[in-house]
Structure 1
Amino acid sequence: MVPVLTVLLVWAGGVRALTASLNYFIAPRTVSLGDFSALSARYSGASFSPAPESNPAVPASYKAGDPIFTISPGGTLGQLRQPAAVGDSSVCSFSNPARFLASGTTSCLRVINSVSGSCQADPTLGTQYYYRNISVIGANPTGTVITSQSVPIISLVTDTPILQGGSCNNVVSQVSYTVRYNGTAGIVSVAASFTLVNISGTSVSLVQSFGVLYESVSSVAPGTVRSGNPGYLVGLPVLSDAGPLLVPRSVGGSCTSAPVGFGENTLSACAIRGTGAETCGDLATRAYSTLLGGKLPQAVATVGNTVATQSGQWVPIIYQNCSNQPPGNCTSCPVPVSLAIHILWANVGQLSNPQAQVLGARFQYRCQLVQVCCPLPAPQASCSLPGAVL
């Protein structure tokens, strides 16, 4: 160690060192452009700057819980998204990834401040946002994404939102991905299906649902949705030959649909809007369809793990339609305004392990003469009538 001579002066203001190297208030050195790099390399250290972004590593084969990677035609990597609710307001976050073998459904709220402005401008309201130009990386055995096995997402629904008058038609309310995989060989196909609704008004709130179902190519009945094994479990959807039983529900004043939960008594209602282009018969037909959630089931599964090919596990639905009504006109139109769904069930099997089984189902309509708004002054004008489900 080399000794350093230090001279201390005691004065009225305290003690002061005369050694310049110990004076922390010495004038700093001026750094020129020429020696900046050398000084930076010598004295630089860690900082709070974000780390440089790098492409995520795509695994050779997916494991349970891994995010599903996608690739665009231009080679941009991404992830298959399953939007979910965040915060107390349950608004949609599109950053939530779908995870391998994690079948499930998420729901969240979309607040649309301007229906006319967002109808065709907001891509998340249309079907193409969820499948067009998106290929899922099925596997990456070589470790090189360029040569990876890409699987395009296929959709039979290609309708896009269209603004008609004050209504935005073909808006996505439900997205369902069916992902088929073959063990360690990875994902072999991805299909997308959609439920579309019409929304109207100045500002509405729309509930969107996003589901992912994983099925093995070696499974006996791929894609079968279960609501119990074998008996129904309370809260899970009642199954029909057209899928889960659906009933209408109101979102932002418009009709959307929700599944009927086994063992749950519910009451919901929504408004069906007619337009000037619809006749009384057209409006009545649309009301029937809306009350059934857009489907026309003919049978209900007796147990929660019913297989579609086993006829003995289905009971026919008893429909009680409205009695014959006189033909409607502009001031008196017979329209179904409510649907009462009655599910008859019982516990069967051993007392120690009873299984809930559906014995019968009845759909009972109630109609009334409704005053409609025709003739309407313009094609875009609309009127509404109440609809309810018991």
Structure 2
Amino acid sequence: MADQTIIDLLGESAEDLLQYRSTTVSKELLHVPGPDFIDRVFVQTNRSIPVLRSLATLFNYGRLAGTGYVSILPIDQGIEHTAGFSFAPNPIYFDPENIIRLAIEGGCNAVATTFGNLGMIARKYAHKIPFIVKINHNELLTYPTKYNQIMFGSVEEAWNLGAVAVGATIYFGSEESSRQIIEVSQAFERAHELGMATILWCYTRNSAFKTKDKDYHVAADITGQANHLGVTIQADIIKQKMPETNGGFEAVNFSKWHKDMYNKLATDHPIDLCRYQVLNCYMGRAGLINSGGESAGDTDLEQSVRTAVINKRAGGMGLILGRRAFQRPFEEGVKLLNLVQDVYGDSSITLA
């Protein structure tokens, strides 16, 4: 039985999430996280020895070291959402050292943040926690607002900072997606040449994906295809938002879909929706980490634990959670990160 704290936080949904048995794609077909994940999955790939070493560094740090699961603290919101908006609830995070401290004291596998943040304190912390450099961003100072990921530095500079991995975002479905796919593909190739792992924020962005009734930016079919494009450009780990619905292709009436995508490969249960995302990550050969989402205040603990349970039982590799941790007092942020990690450390919470 799962830890009582986890059960209590799940509340009325505890039984449904912890006891659910999926009847879609068998869990036996998945490449699930575990202590031997690198030997079992990545050793078979074209990744070089230095990349394998970087992945091992990532997997073997923090409270989840040696489990095959990861808990990553991502803080690039100072650019993506403006610094004032992001850090006003807790101004200590204007200082990048506190970002690194939160990741370390929170027991994370790694910290993912900007060139500027890591560059300012790299010599003090590069040997104390794995760095992931976010190499592109959408900035919000252009008026009128536009949504376009652009490079903020080079892969070589990420390597000079001592990073074990680079992270990048592609807005799949946007007008600029073709350029972003080419840029990020080239950056990931270079990162692998230098021995770094690659993590892709596989976000979807198109006004047509949002109808009067639903937001299909978080549909399992559309996000799943974004994941499939991400692993095609050789992302080692995929970051994706937790799916909340399905049938985006059919509802928006674009691209191609098969009825079995909705009838056999998924149901409306959140674990099955997330598992469809895992399927599109080469059945889990590339790890799926779901994002924590924006902070909702009092319900952050419950929602974060819920997301972790869904991701783990679907076959995912972990969570990448930022705002819910840093937009609260430091010690409370540490507690939240630890609670999420406890889900992945709980051996009674198994694949659905």
TM range (shorter): under 0.3
> Rg larger in 1 or in 2?
1
Task: Choose between structure 1 and 2: higher strand proportion.
Answer: 1
Scaled by the length of structure 1, the TM-score of the pair is 0.22
Higher relative contact order (CA 8 A, sep 6+): 2
